[in-house]
Amino acid sequence: MPSSPSVLPAIPHHPAPDWPRASALPIRDNGERLLPMSLAQAPIRVFPAYSRLGIPGTIDDCFVREGVYRALVAVAQSLPPGIGLIVLDGWRPWRVQQYLFDTLQAAIALRHPELDDESLGERTREFVSIPSTDERAPSPHLTGGAVDVTLCDAIGVPLDMGTLFDEAVPASHTAHFEREYLDERERRVRDNRRLLYRAMCTQGFTNLPSEWWHFDLGDQLWAHFSGRPQAHYGPAALDTIENRWRRQLG
């Protein structure tokens, strides 16, 4: 029987990533293909959040590398009866990353006009990584190794995780509710986060400490947090019929 969320160990408080160090880790791409999570069966549900919000350049599915796909299926199968996994985002086109970064930065600048450029960049990067197509240091979501997920009940209703997905507030930090005095609702949120965190980490994922929903497998951020010498995933692109024909006829 799966463990009850209430007896799961606490989520550790991890520091923010050292981005320059993470971005300097070498990448030896293993060539895994991108797969749509819509192929997966219950208890996985796919809700491409950015597409549903109408953000320009999004696609109406969540693509991930094959190794990530298989690990997510294992996560879903490990959850207690009546609990499912919702995939909210995976591989992200560069233009979507740029849109998210620019939009959040503008919102922070409007709310905090006293911030200088460096501080504004740091605050933005807390929740959205710098857009990059650099083969040596790509944005995590551009690799297909980063994924955003949450939990749901048996009929697909998302569990209470304390904040909304992509909410840029301190309460979104994964370990925010790991404190002594909590009310009943906060304890429930803490237990839900513990369940998601432990299920994902057991299958090899690492978590971005500022986002309870963001996990990595195979990319530079994963290598950084797991102490590995290199990443397995570099920049990836969806296969198109045009690219396929060019390869076949080239």
| 8 A C-beta contact, residue 13 and residue 218 | no
Please pick, among 135, 184, 211, 242, the residue that the annotation labels catalytic: 211
Q: Which amino acid is at 27?
A: I
pLDDT score, position 223: 98
For residue 215, how far is the Cα from the chain centroid? Answer: 4
Of 3.90.230.10, 3.30.1380.10, 1.10.30.50, 3.40.50.2300, which CATH number belongs to 5-93+136-249?
Answer: 3.30.1380.10
Is 176 assigned to a binding site?
no
Is 148 assigned to a binding site?
yes
The pTM for the full model equals 0.91
Parallel, antiparallel or unpaired: strands 146-152 and 84-89: antiparallel
Residue-wise burial string across 35-70, b where 16 or more C-beta atoms lie within 10 A, e elsewhere: bbbeebeebbbbbbbbbeeebeebbebbbbbebbbb
Show the tokens assigned to 120. Answer: 């504004």
Catalytic status, residue 126: no
| 8 A C-beta contact, residue 144 and residue 91 | yes
**pLDDT tens digit at each of 250 positions of the chain:** 344 445 789 999 999 999 999 999 999 999 999 999 999 988 999 999 999 999 999 999 999 999 999 999 999 999 999 999 999 999 999 998 888 888 878 888 878 888 887 777 778 777 778 888 899 999 999 999 999 999 999 999 999 999 999 998 999 999 999 999 999 999 999 999 999 999 999 999 999 999 999 999 999 999 999 999 999 999 999 987 766 777 677 6
Contacts of 212 (CB under 8 A, 6+ apart): 161, 162, 163, 172, 173, 174, 176, 193, 196, 197
Is 141 assigned to a binding site?
yes
Rounded-to-integer distance, Cα 106 and Cα 111, Å: 9
Q: Provide the β-strand partners of residue 148.
A: 89, 214
